[in-house]
Amino acid sequence: MGESFRWLSPLGASVGLFLAIGLLWLLIGALTVPFHNRATGTEMIFVSHSTDREYFGASPSELLSADPALSKLRTLLLTVIAGFLLLAGILCLSVAWFGLKQGELWALVSLASGGLVAIAFWALALLPYFRSGIPVTIGDAILLGWMGLG
């Protein structure tokens, strides 16, 4: 099926979207560790400065400087998350390029189910904010994606 693949087709669009997701995860994963303690990175714990301040009761930079253990835990967790983002990005790119691009159904099922699981766990992670009545805006969603870019 490789010879009949066309980028300007529904399959091509799907491959392109999954490649973009994989590249985004690779970029965020690669930049999280070197930038999480610089500039904007220290102004958030999980979502964004204002949302985290409202949820945790103090600004993230105050909390992180006042509690070295919290700062160390944040560094450890972000390092592990960065590693999983790199892993997910590599897998997403590989499955999209070597499976979905060839028209393999297992690749579409794998990519779609993996994406749905990722969305479900982000929703689960944000649930405490929602339960506390703290809105998570589109700006917060963008910051989540770029939190490691400092």
Cα(14)–Cα(29) distance, rounded to whole angstroms? 22
User: What pLDDT, in 10s, does the model give residues 25-36?
Assistant: 999 899 888 888
- For residue 2, pLDDT over 80 is answered with no
CB count in 10 Å sphere of residue 140? 20
Q: In the chain, where are the structural domains located?
A: 7-149
Residue 37, pLDDT score: 82
Residue 146, pLDDT score: 53
Region of residue 133 (phi > 0: left; psi between -120 and 50: alpha; otherwise: beta): left
Residue 1, pLDDT score: 46
DSSP string, 17-46: HHHHHHHHHHHHHHHHHHHTTSGGGGG-SS
Residue 150, pLDDT score: 36
Tokens of 61: 């930079």
Cα(87)–Cα(85) distance, rounded to whole angstroms? 5
Percent of the chain with pLDDT over 70: 90
Contact 15, 112 (CB under 8 A): no
Contact 109, 30 (CB under 8 A): no
Cα(78)–Cα(72) distance, rounded to whole angstroms? 10
**Global pTM value:** 0.82
User: What pLDDT, in 10s, does the model give residues 83-114?
Assistant: 999 999 999 999 999 999 999 999 999 999 99
